[in-house]
A = this chain, B = another copy of it.
Amino acid sequence: GYARLDTHRALRTGDPEVVYGEGKSPAQVVEILGRLRAAHPDRPALATRLDAEALAAVAAAHPGALLDAQARCAALGDLPAPRGSVVVVAAGTTDAPVAAEAALVARVSGAGVRRVDDVGVAGLHRLLAVRDELDAADCLVVVAGMEGALPSVVGGLTGVPVVAVPTSVGYGAAFGGLAALLGMLSSCAPGVVVCNIDNGFGAGLFAARVARRAAG
């Protein structure tokens, strides 16, 4: 009980507080997740950035929990009916964990979600083959590391709102995601917005909000 939970948040913003697992013990994660679940009986409670040990602790304490090891997330409570659609697009296989976090968070936040993986700009035909899928979405989350060029190309192909997420994939001058971050912020495609490096959580939540509104 050492945390001052912001249980009014769901009233103000429509989305409850979420457990950020980094730096918390498995026991703390389990406890706070339980308190959030109790405070919001009509919404799933969510924990992110869980290591294997924390995921196991959640599974043990809450047999019915939804666990996603790639996304490093756990959720307690029934998923809401999907409203609107989010498509999460990733450039390389190494970007998959961030894409998975975005997808899970968007789904838990009430949107329908699909994923399109491994469509980096060095092999454009892979992306061009899924153009219709992109156009059909209400909001796109585009995840890429290294030079982070994918959101610029996607943003030139479609008018669906694009939320870009740089990842820390790469080495040397990629500087842990900085190259991709600066590139996405400087995108020549108009109307691309950007989240923090590896922040699949923020992108997923934002995209769900846009998609829910689009669904009316």
Contacts and interface: CB of A to CB of B under 8 A. Distances in A.
Interface of A: 2-4, 6, 8-9, 12-15, 18, 20, 22-23, 91-94, 96, 117-126, 138, 146-149, 152-153, 155-161, 163, 166, 168-175, 177-199, 201-203, 205-206, 209-210, 213-214, 216
Contact of A149 (B147, B172, B174, B216): B147
A124 to B, nearest CB: 6
Contacts of A9: 122-123, 156
Copies in the complex: 8
B193 A206 contact: yes
Interface centre among A168, A170, A171, A175 (most CB of B within 10 A): A171
22 contacts: A3-B118, A4-B117, A8-B125, A9-B156, A12-B157, A18-B190, A20-B94, A121-B189, A122-B156, A124-B153, A149-B183, A160-B209, A161-B213, A168-B172, A172-B181, A173-B182, A173-B196, A173-B197, A175-B182, A179-B182, A190-B202, A191-B205
A188 B149 CA distance: 9
